[in-house]
Structure 1
Amino acid sequence: MGLDEQLNRIRSKLKHVQEKNPQGRDPRELVLQPPLTLSQVEQFESKHGITLPEDFRRFVLEVGSSGFGPAYGLETLDRWFCEADAPDGIQKPAIVQPDLQAEHWWEDFGVDEDERYQGTLYIATHGCTYEILLVLNGPHRGRVVYVDLDEYTRPFFPENQSFVSWYERWLDENLWGYDLDWFGYTVPGTEADLLRMASSAAFPVQRRCDAILSLWRLPSLRSETVQFLVDGLSETEEVALASIQILKNLVRNLVNHFLLPVLSDQRPGVRQEAFSKIIWANKPPGPYTLERRALVTDPATPQQSLDLLQFLKDHLQDPDGKVAATAVTALADLDQPLYSFQELRQSPHPEVRAVYLDQLGHQALQEPYTTDEQQHMWEWMLAGLEDPDAQVRNKAVSGLKTFTHQVDDPEHPPLKEVWRSTSIQRLHEGFTTEPDVEVRKTILFVARYAFDLSGAQTIFLMAAQQPDLATRQAVLSEIDEAFRNGGAKPSDGFRKEPTIHQVLDLLSQGDVVVPEEQALTLQARKLRKRCF
């Protein structure tokens, strides 16, 4: 297939998109600006010491220079740069490549962070710090790459091997009615292409799953595709999980019909995924009402339905802890009081005990609970501090925030002082002996919201003197958050607290020679200087 033929197809498909406008865009957005002149391109290449990839060069010379294209459209020639780019930045060897995993991947190539996208051209943007680049040299010359300048995600190369194939694919997916928000991130092809790949044993399982998951961008599915997904529920676990995901996304009115039978599957992961997707598809959009009770198993016979609440309650004692925990969360999302399910505190599954205390903590001071019931829930939180499982202890600590922080809202009843003082006393007593650093972090979080109690202040001081770095980092983070957003006191109140000064003094005295300590010490000194 020659480049001439490909450019002709692009012109034809571009015209079809402009005529049909399948995505319903503003017609003014469907325009490519006139091509560049040969003089403009040669001048750019000469100035920067580069030669543009042939297909991109001919595209901007023969089809269009900028405008209608993926994301926010193709950029103009005067913006063909990434970041601040030194004048010779785009002529340097490109180091970005597929499948980079390291957080600071550029260090493996001996370059600084601000040089990591050298040898590339900025051609479009997804917005914010998400940019689309064109590789100018090296083994990946001519390929498009998606990058995040903040590096929260690693560079991603769409499967297309050239700019024009990438742009033509985008026109195709416009015409097919695909969701274009995630263009380039999925396997390319029509529904028939994806179905052939997904159903062929000639492809590795991961590739088959990728093809299945790519179906979510289609506007609808043909009946044979739906049947393939239903049959896929009995395939390998990877295929079954991918099939569940697409059935949930694109066949929502039939989710119950297809997935309820999967709850008898013997594979825990498949069963858990099916249960969570059934919940997702059936949660009412607003407060639970009697009119929204029906969990319809088949749209053809809506009278044959299950009661959603009873369905969830039936799974509270499920032998699979993850399923039971999902049921607890779903009941809470439906604003169902959880106090009456107190047997869940004794569940053999730590994830159930944890999520129960977590959700109960959110509900504790809300109606319709009586003071006696709230007293019981507070006692359950204290008992949870002794649980052998760290995740349960963590949620018990988090739940105690409800009983230590008086919300400035007339609709919230005043806290009993014994709840506040005893809660902080128990956290104070257990802080130094708590073996799990995540639990200690949560104790510090709760202590910030009870900082008007001397016990909470002492917890901060204890944390600053702990030998482990993670705990000291956690207390510094809580102080920073206190200065920003407050807690038991407004942010200005924390700045005046002698205890806070003491904590920062302790954290500022660390060893600046030991690398592990240096960052914490310097950060503490910087925070003290900035806020005092």
Structure 2
Amino acid sequence: MLMHEHTWVGVRERVLRLAEHPESDQVFGARGHGFRLGPVMSEEQLRAVEADLGVGLPAEYRGFLLQVGAGGAGPHYGLMTPSLGDGGWQWRGVGLAFPAQPTTAEFAGRPFVAEALQGELDALDDQEPVQDAFTTDEEFRQAHAAWESRYEELYDAQEAGAVFLSEQGCGYTSLLVMTGPHRGAVWEDLRPMDRGIEPTGQDFARWYRSWLERAEQQLAT
């Protein structure tokens, strides 16, 4: 058995056991996911996801999908689920009361360059047009519209190469990086507090298992 496969032995049973606890809804986010897990995915399904991604899934996450479930119970308001739709595979909030935004496999398979783009965004912040610098209102509106368009382009591009994995609340989300040197790591989108998309220092297995251990300790199971 590979190491990442051993990581998930018994985890599905542990999660589902929490659903039976009379105070399970006291765990943050549990009222939204109810400690329910989607069915596990097949090897054939994972290969289809990877074909749309253009890269292999991170090993620990792949093992989770095969052994624990496609989504559902997990940190914050629960895990997004890889789902096949008319436009191909994408991550959606199946069974979640408070899902994160969907991510297409094609978008998640692009290069992850959030750190590099943050520098450009910070510089662009300092270049926001101010009305006093323009002779007419129309000149200012045009300049500001161009600036805003470029800002939104860079802002959206920061999300490429990762999957929105879990909604934290208040606009904050957890992401799983799919490409590049940070592949397999969990990052956080902290842009609503005027920060950036930043690393948590955890891979997927540590991130998920830490959540499960905290939930078990809280409910003393």
TM-score of the aligned structures, taking structure 2 as reference length? 0.64
- Residues 1:27 and 1:136: Cα distance change in structure 2 (over 3 Å): closer
CA distance in 2, matches of 1:149, 1:27: 24
Partner of 1:8: 9
CA distance in 2, matches of 1:52, 1:83: 20
Unaligned runs of 5+ in 1: 179-532
- Residues 1:50 and 1:9: Cα distance change in structure 2 (over 3 Å): same
Deviation (angstroms), 1:123: 1.4
CA distance in 2, matches of 1:146, 1:24: 24
Deviation (angstroms), 1:136: 0.7
Deviation (angstroms), 1:17: 2.8
Deviation (angstroms), 1:174: 0.7
CA distance in 2, matches of 1:106, 1:13: 47
| TM-align CA RMSD | 3.5
- Local SS of the residue matching 2:15: helix
CA distance in 2, matches of 1:61, 1:132: 21
- Superposed, 1:467-478 pairs within 5 Å as none
Contact 2:189/2:196 (8 A) holds in 1: yes
Deviation (angstroms), 1:18: 3.4
Contact 2:9/2:67 (8 A) holds in 1: no
CA distance in 1, matches of 2:20, 2:103: 39
CA distance in 2, matches of 1:11, 1:87: 25
CA distance in 1, matches of 2:164, 2:65: 14
CA distance in 2, matches of 1:41, 1:101: 32
The AA in structure 2 aligned to 1:93 is: P
Partner of 2:121: 104
Partner of 1:118: 160
Contact 1:22/1:174 (8 A) holds in 2: no
CA distance in 2, matches of 1:71, 1:18: 16
CA distance in 2, matches of 1:129, 1:28: 18
- Superposed, 1:116-265 pairs within 5 Å as 116-148=158-190, 150=192, 152-160=194-202, 162-177=203-218
Partner of 2:67: 62
Higher share in helix: 1
- Superposed, 1:371-386 pairs within 5 Å as none
- Residues 1:53 and 1:46: Cα distance change in structure 2 (over 3 Å): same
Deviation (angstroms), 1:19: 4.2
Equivalenced residue count is 173
Contact 2:75/2:208 (8 A) holds in 1: yes
The AA in structure 2 aligned to 1:175 is: E
Q: What do residues 113-167 of structure 1 show as CA deviations (whole Å, max 9, x unaligned)?
A: 221121101211123422211001222110111103546232232232x212211
Q: What do residues 397-427 of structure 1 show as CA deviations (whole Å, max 9, x unaligned)?
A: xxxxxxxxxxxxxxxxxxxxxxxxxxxxxxx
Contact 2:166/2:174 (8 A) holds in 1: yes
Question: Among residues 110, 116, 120, which one is paired with 1:92 in the alignment?
Answer: 110
TM-score of the aligned structures, taking structure 1 as reference length? 0.29
CA distance in 2, matches of 1:120, 1:128: 20
- Local SS of the residue matching 2:198: coil
Q: What do residues 171-217 of structure 1 show as CA deviations (whole Å, max 9, x unaligned)?
A: 10111229xxxxxxxxxxxxxxxxxxxxxxxxxxxxxxxxxxxxxxx
Contact 1:92/1:119 (8 A) holds in 2: yes
Contact 1:106/1:113 (8 A) holds in 2: no
CA distance in 2, matches of 1:51, 1:164: 17
Higher share in strand: 2
Contact 1:22/1:175 (8 A) holds in 2: no
Partner of 1:464: none
CA distance in 2, matches of 1:152, 1:67: 29
Find out whether 1:80 has 2:91 as its counterpart: yes
The AA in structure 2 aligned to 1:42 is: R
Deviation (angstroms), 1:66: 1.1
Deviation (angstroms), 1:12: 4.8
Partner of 2:36: 31
- Superposed, 1:122-521 pairs within 5 Å as 122-148=164-190, 150=192, 152-160=194-202, 162-177=203-218
The AA in structure 2 aligned to 1:104 is: L
The AA in structure 2 aligned to 1:66 is: G
The AA in structure 2 aligned to 1:116 is: Q
Unaligned runs of 5+ in 2: 84-89, 93-99, 125-152
Q: What do residues 58-97 of structure 1 show as CA deviations (whole Å, max 9, x unaligned)?
A: 1112211111111111112135288686774222211235
